[in-house]
């Protein structure tokens, strides 16, 4: 039998070896380099054609907060282009984007972020709605496939992150994959290619919390947040909070395990837990952000931090998902009319449906509020 003293020495040696192995692994892990990152933001909450493209509230916009979070990580101010609302016309966006892409060096990164409306033309071609888009004047928006095409043509580096918070944003993944690629991409899109997107800032907020190193985004609690974990965090928030499927993808040599932020340990065990909490007149979706005196502080999806509430456990419950079984015949709302359909798959409260009498090209993922029982 080993003596007590020898056991202690062995334990110390094993602990030191484990720490050295962990440190070596952490040193070898890929890491995002903010000082070598160039950022292009085109963000809109209002448009010239306000009838076709409805405005979003100005006072709650989060694009500036997102940009500040990147600055705080060490992205230099001289590496940033920020076009806002009327600054983001088609000619300005395209010309400045091409100029911007010529500045980074061979080992630099680019992050491209668009926030606003997305739309498709009659042929199904997806666009990002720039400020001056106007069908009557034959001014289109920023064609999605023009984004990776410009990157491939003008950018000398090999890693690009494209982030879109708009309707049909998942079409960017298709656009990237159709491009002859030299560059490796990370794509973060708030919706599917066939899906409209919420008017809330939920998707962008999930990115902000990830870049800030929130322990909520650190899925495996290892003290770091990776691009893969940021994607998972965004997907979870959109699925539960907005009943929407985000599109997250990585191409080429882009390593999803690249570290973007250090994360502290969770302040309490249930931090980040998704719940429904009762407030004033009903149950609202949110997640736990603090705990004190037997109560929990809840942040509600689609609301500001100033609307966070301290809620007793009796007014907090596990989420009640609305789910219809696969094969169930239902009615689905599309452009204010109800059509017979059948459920093909379910994720959370989002359902993949096929419309009766229509081809599978019309299949789509829909939120629970667009479905009702067929009588």
**Whole-number pLDDT of residue 6:** 52
Task: Tell me whether residue 132 is in a domain.
Answer: yes
Classify residue 98 by its DSSP letter: H
Q: Determine the structural domain holding residue 289 and report its residue range.
A: 274-317
Long-range contacts of 153-156 (CB under 8 A, 24+ apart): 153/98, 153/101, 154/98, 154/101, 154/102, 155/101, 155/102, 155/104, 155/110, 155/183, 156/102, 156/104, 156/105, 156/106, 156/108
171 lies in the same domain as 312:
no
Give 5-34 pLDDT, tens digit per residue: 554 554 444 444 444 334 444 444 589 999
* Mean predicted lDDT score pLDDT of the chain: 92
For residue 219, count other CB atoms closer than 10 A to its CB: 17
Helix (H) or strand (E) holding 126: strand 126-128
CB 362 within 8 A of CB 341: no
119 lies in the same domain as 168:
yes
80 lies in the same domain as 100:
yes
**Whole-number pLDDT of residue 28:** 46
147 lies in the same domain as 239:
yes
The residue-averaged pLDDT of 143-150 equals 97
**Whole-number pLDDT of residue 131:** 97
Task: Tell me whether residue 324 is in a domain.
Answer: no
* Domain finish residue from 240, 262, 284: 262
**Whole-number pLDDT of residue 327:** 96
For residue 2, pLDDT beyond 70: no
User: Is the overall model pTM greater than 0.85, yes or no?
Assistant: yes
Q: Where are the alpha helices (DSSP H) in 89-145?
A: 90-101
Task: Tell me whether residue 27 is in a domain.
Answer: no
122 lies in the same domain as 185:
yes
**Whole-number pLDDT of residue 17:** 40
Q: How far apart are CA 245 and CA 170, in angstroms?
A: 9
171 lies in the same domain as 293:
no
**Whole-number pLDDT of residue 216:** 97
- Helices and strands (H and E) in the chain: how many: 7, 21
Task: Tell me whether residue 8 is in a domain.
Answer: no
Task: Tell me whether residue 19 is in a domain.
Answer: no
Give 247-262 pLDDT, tens digit per residue: 999 999 999 999 999 9
Per-residue confidence at 157, pLDDT binned at 50, 70, 90? very high
* CATH number of 337's domain: 2.30.30.140
109 lies in the same domain as 233:
yes
218 lies in the same domain as 131:
yes
**Whole-number pLDDT of residue 9:** 52
Per-residue confidence at 1, pLDDT binned at 50, 70, 90? very low
Give 288-298 pLDDT, tens digit per residue: 999 999 999 99
Task: Tell me whether residue 28 is in a domain.
Answer: no
223: left (phi over 0), alpha (psi -120 to 50) or beta: left
Task: Tell me whether residue 6 is in a domain.
Answer: no
298 lies in the same domain as 212:
no
Task: Tell me whether residue 231 is in a domain.
Answer: yes
The residue-averaged pLDDT of 259-280 equals 96
Give 296-345 pLDDT, tens digit per residue: 999 999 999 999 999 999 999 999 999 999 999 999 999 889 999 999 99
For residue 54, pLDDT beyond 90: yes
Give 75-95 pLDDT, tens digit per residue: 999 999 999 999 999 999 999
Please count the structural domains in the chain: 3
Q: Count of residues for the chain? A: 375
Per-residue confidence at 366, pLDDT binned at 50, 70, 90? very high
**Whole-number pLDDT of residue 374:** 86
111 lies in the same domain as 242:
yes
104 lies in the same domain as 247:
yes
Give 84-142 pLDDT, tens digit per residue: 999 999 999 999 999 999 999 999 999 999 999 999 998 999 999 999 999 888 889 99
* CATH number of 79's domain: 3.40.50.1460
For residue 239, pLDDT beyond 50: yes
144 lies in the same domain as 279:
no
């Amino acid at each position: 039998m080993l003596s007590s003293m020898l056991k202690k020495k062995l334990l110390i040696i094993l602990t030191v070896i484990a720490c050295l192995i962990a440190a070596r692994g952490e040193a070898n892990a890929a890491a995002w380099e903010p000082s070598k990152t160039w950022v292009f933001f085109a963000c809109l909450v209002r448009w010239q054609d306000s009838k076709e493209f409805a405005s979003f509230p100005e006072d709650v916009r989060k694009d500036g907060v997102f940009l500040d979070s990147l600055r705080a990580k060490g992205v230099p101010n001289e590496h940033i282009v920020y076009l806002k609302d009327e600054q983001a016309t088609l000619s300005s966006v395209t010309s400045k984007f091409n100029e911007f892409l010529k500045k980074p060096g061979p080992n630099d990164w680019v992050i491209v972020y668009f926030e606003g409306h997305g739309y498709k033309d009659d042929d199904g071609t997806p666009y990002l709605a720039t400020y001056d888009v106007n069908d009557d004047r034959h001014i289109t928006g920023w064609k999605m496939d023009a984004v990776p095409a410009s990157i491939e043509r003008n950018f000398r580096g090999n890693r690009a992150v494209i982030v879109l918070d708009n309707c049909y944003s998942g079409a960017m993944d298709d656009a990237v994959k159709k491009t002859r690629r030299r560059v490796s991409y990370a794509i973060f899109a708030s919706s599917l290619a066939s899906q409209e997107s919420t008017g809330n800032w939920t998707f962008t907020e999930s990115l902000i919390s990830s870049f800030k190193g929130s322990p909520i985004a650190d899925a495996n609690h290892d003290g770091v947040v990776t691009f893969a974990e940021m994607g998972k965090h965004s997907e979870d928030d959109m699925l539960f909070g907005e009943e929407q499927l985000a599109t997250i993808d990585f191409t080429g040599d882009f390593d999803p395990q690249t570290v973007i932020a250090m994360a502290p340990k969770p302040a309490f065990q249930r931090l980040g837990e998704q719940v429904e909490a009762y407030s004033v007149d009903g149950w609202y979706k949110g997640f736990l952000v603090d705990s004190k005196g037997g109560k929990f502080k809840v942040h509600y999806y689609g609301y500001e931090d100033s609307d966070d509430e301290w809620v007793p456990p009796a007014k907090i419950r596990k989420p009640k998902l609305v789910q219809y079984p696969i094969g169930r015949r239902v009615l689905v709302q599309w452009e204010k009319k109800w059509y017979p359909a059948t459920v093909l798959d379910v994720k959370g409260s989002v359902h993949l449906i096929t419309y009766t009498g229509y081809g599978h090209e019309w299949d789509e993922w829909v939120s629970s509020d667009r479905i009702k029982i067929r009588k």
